[in-house]
Chain A
Amino acid sequence: MPTRTAAKPATMAQALQRAMRDAMAEDPTVHVMGEDVGTLGGVFRVTDGLAKEFGEDRCTDTPLAEAGILGTAVGMAMYGLRPVVEMQFDAFAYPAFEQLISHVSRMRNRTRGAMPMPLVIRVPYGGGIGGVEHHSDSSEAYYMATPGLHVVAPATVEDAYGLLRAAIASDDPVVFLEPKRLYWSKSDWSPEAPAAVEPIGKAVVRRSGRSATLITYGPSVPVCMEAAEAAQAEGWDLEVVDLRSLVPFDDETVCASVRRTGRAVVVHESTGFGGPGGEIAARVTERCFHHLEAPVLRVAGFDIPYPPPMLERHHLPGVDRVLDAVARLQWEAGS
Chain B
Amino acid sequence: MACHHKNSHHKLDLEDSSKKLVLVGNPNVGKSIFFNYLTGIYVAVSNYPGTTLDITKGRYQDFTVLDTPGVYGVSSFNDEEIVARDVIMAADIVVNVVDAVHLERDLFLTQQIIDMGIPVIIALNMMDEAEKNGLSIDIDRLSSELGVPVIPTTAVSGKGLSELKASLNRARVGESIFEKHNELTEKLAKMNEETTSTRDALLILEGDPHLADRYRLKPMNFREEIYRIRRKRVDQIIDNVVSDLNDGKGVKATLSRMMVNPVTGVPLLLITLYILYQLIGVFIAQTVVGLTEEAFFLEIYEPFIRNLVSRVIPAASFTSKLLIGEFGILTMAVTYVFGLLLPLVIGFYFFLSILEDSGYMPRIAALVDRTLTSLGLNGRAIIPMLLGFGCVTMATITTRLLGSKRERIIAIFLLGLAIPCSAQLGVIVGLISPLGVKYFLIYVFVLLLVYVLSGTFLNKVLPGKSTDLLIDLPPLRIPRIGNVLNKTRIKSFAFIKEAGPIFVLGAVIITVLQETGILIYIQELVAPITIGWLRLPPEVATAFVMGIIRRDFGAAGLNSLAMTPSQTTVALITITLFVPCIAAMMIMVKERNWKEATAIWFGSWFTAFIVGGLVALFI
A binds B: no
- B: residues with CB less than 8 A from A are none
